[in-house]
Amino acid sequence: MEFEYYISRSRDGTMIGPVRKSGNASDSDQNKANLASSESLVRNIISRQLSSLAMDVAPYRVTKNYSLERETSKDKAIKNRAKNAESLAKNGNYRAAQEAYLSIYRDSGSYAAAYNAGVLIAAQGNLEGAAAFMQQVYSETWNPKAMAEASRLRREIAATDLAAVYSENQGQRDRLIALMVDTLPPNLPAGAKAAVVNNSQTERELADSIANGIISGFLAKNITLVDRDNRALVEMERNYQYSGNVSDDDMIRIGNEAGVNTFIMVAVSGSFSTRRLVVRMIDVERNTILYQSPQTDEMNL
């Protein structure tokens, strides 16, 4: 299958993308009843492809190179001043170089000097200031290059803001996964055959990524888990999605059918700034709750 996605910046509706993905999945078994459903295969493809989402839209580290424009003025004094400003920039004296280029721009109207001043403002971490300055240069000179640079800087600001938000959310998610991987195992009963189930009606993609993270942590600890693609478990997750509930009798039946004696239910409640991870561990055979996540800030997403 192939699919694509966009990122929408909530502040102004700016769209970033598309990012195109493709993949394939298959299953085989002598018993047709044991084959994974088409929905399960599709979900696996999407889950694998989106595992690189962070690097698609929010790299953890970005190295940027800035280039200065060469001064083309025939005025020798302006050329010498531009050469001195360039030397300051190359030596890391960005603030002094910025002021030198601004002075050249005010005295001569040189676009190269204005552009270089904008570059140095951006290089010091002030993208908003650089964009505003290049917009000012455009209003003063009507040079289309200044407008193009201001637009480019605004796109860079949008991407940078998105990266910061995503990295923060990613860090919270990973912190909670690590917390659950440490907290849940001591509460498992002896001889546990556990299944991690997404029982979230909202934010299902986020809950799914957390469930997969918990599974990876459990497997690293050699804890026995039943595959989430088991047909009975897929049915269980679908029922939670549509109805928000699975009866105790159905849970026992599904557990027996899937060979599960312990369910770990993962959900995300709330939305945006009020999102919280909710995790329950249930002993299927005794129908008792072995663990319930606290309603405290440490569970906030």
Out of 15-24, 25-34, 115-124, 199-208, pick the least confident.
15-24
Tokens of 131: 């964009």
Using one digit for the tens of pLDDT, what is the confidence trace for 103-129?
999 999 999 999 999 999 988 878 888
Contact 59, 167 (CB under 8 A): no
| Residue % of the chain over a pLDDT of 70 | 87
- Return the half-sphere exposure (C-beta side, CA atoms, 13 A cut-off) of residue 99: 3
Write down the pLDDT at residue 59.
46
Higher-confidence residue of 290 and 50: namely 290
Residue 242, pLDDT > 80, answer: no
Site of tokens 């195992």: 185
Q: What CA–CA distance (Å, rounded) separates 276 from 274?
A: 6
Q: Which phi and psi (to 5°) does residue 283 adopt?
A: -85, 110
| Residue % of the chain over a pLDDT of 90 | 26
Query: What is the pTM for the complete model shown?
Result: 0.46
Write down the pLDDT at residue 292.
93
Q: What CA–CA distance (Å, rounded) separates 301 from 296?
A: 11
CB count within 10 Å of CB 276 equals 18
Instruction: For each of the domains in the chain, give its residue range(s) and CATH number, in order of start.
Output: 2-57 (no CATH), 76-160 (1.25.40.10), 184-299 (3.40.50)
Write down the pLDDT at residue 233.
83
Task: Name the strand (E) or helix (H) holding 143.
Answer: none
Write down the pLDDT at residue 235.
79
Write down the pLDDT at residue 39.
85
Q: What CA–CA distance (Å, rounded) separates 12 from 8?
A: 9
Write down the pLDDT at residue 106.
92
Using one digit for the tens of pLDDT, what is the confidence trace for 72-102?
999 999 999 999 999 999 998 999 999 999 9
CA 202 to chain centroid: 18
Peptide bond into 18 cis (omega under 30): yes
Higher-confidence residue of 270 and 11: namely 270
Residue 164, pLDDT > 80, answer: no
Q: What CA–CA distance (Å, rounded) separates 264 from 212?
A: 12
Contact 105, 120 (CB under 8 A): no
Q: What CA–CA distance (Å, rounded) separates 113 from 144?
A: 15
